[in-house]
Structure 1
Amino acid sequence: VPARQGHNDRRRGGVPNGHQGRAAAPIRENCSAFSPNHLAIVGSRRHWAVVDRAPLLHFTRRRSAQRAITVLRHYRMSKQCTIGYPKAVFRYYLTNSAAPRGYRLRGEHCASFSPVLLRLVRTRRGHWMLAEGRRYLFRFRYNRRDAIKALNVIQKYTFNHSCYVGHGRHVMRYLLQR
């Protein structure tokens, strides 16, 4: 039974998750495979890239790039998927076409959430967000379609932890199932 929309949800543009009476359409995913065992760090000074055959991630600190490789290998991530074109607004990683899972790494920065409680919310400024209660977790600016697709992906893989490596603009965000 879907959660009821509260007064505050309607005022701020809340949209219940799920579509009653319709089967969910298959999600077209934009994913690129990589080998976690062949990852390397290239760069110097304030620009470091994690590469397989091509650049995968960018950081301003070598330590963040090394930590990203540790995370990718620990969870055996082998696909990087994006939502949004031409610029990705949402990224997630898969392990053999499934949600990454495993024991928590020491020092990992993660926040838990419930995929079934996520809902699409439109802010007063017209931005689309995925929220759990009053907590905004993911933002999509003005692109509602990308926000809906991200919600469907999160629920498909039952992701329930949002994590990150890095600082500032150059951050690797990843989702886990625990």
Structure 2
Amino acid sequence: MKRVSHLFIQQNWILLTLAQSIQLCIKHITFEKPKAPFIGAVFFYTFLVHTSMKEEYYDTDEGHAQNKKVLATQPYQEREIKQILHIRCQEEDVEMCDEALNVLTRIATETTLRYAIQLITTAHLVCKRRKGTEVSLQDVKRVYSLFWDEARSSQFLKEYQQEFMFNEMAADIEMEAA
């Protein structure tokens, strides 16, 4: 099952054992002497992980068979988003009440998960400023009103674009061109 070239078994037995344990089909391994003195070895390898997922293969224009794995993904469910946010709160040592976590989950489903994760840190800072120990619903609402997501920012710019200076510059350029 393994097609291996340029493998130094004595030096790389750990990599080989790892490959066998997770059922990798190693296509190519090369060993290079590192440029920096503190690096022991540099391995370059390509592999295919055998999984039960649907795999699709494509040919490149040159005719070389390139193995690319196409995986179908689905959006996170609400309970999964809530779990991700809860884990992120634990990683950042943020205590958050259930109401605030539920609102943050709803924000993540309506906007983006990245935006909701960024609100955790800012809500924690607001909580610290009011000398609280747990992020409350009011803290989340406060930072939601202060820091806008991409969609709200874009909507604001579209609504008030006539009042911004860059709009005047564009009009001046159009007048000069005419």
TM-score, normalised via structure 2 length: 0.22
The structure with the largest alpha-carbon Rg is 2
Question: Which is helix-richer, 1 or 2?
Answer: 2
State the structure with bigger RCO (CA 8 A, min sep 6), 1 or 2.
1
TM-score, normalised via structure 1 length: 0.22
Question: Which is strand-richer, 1 or 2?
Answer: 1
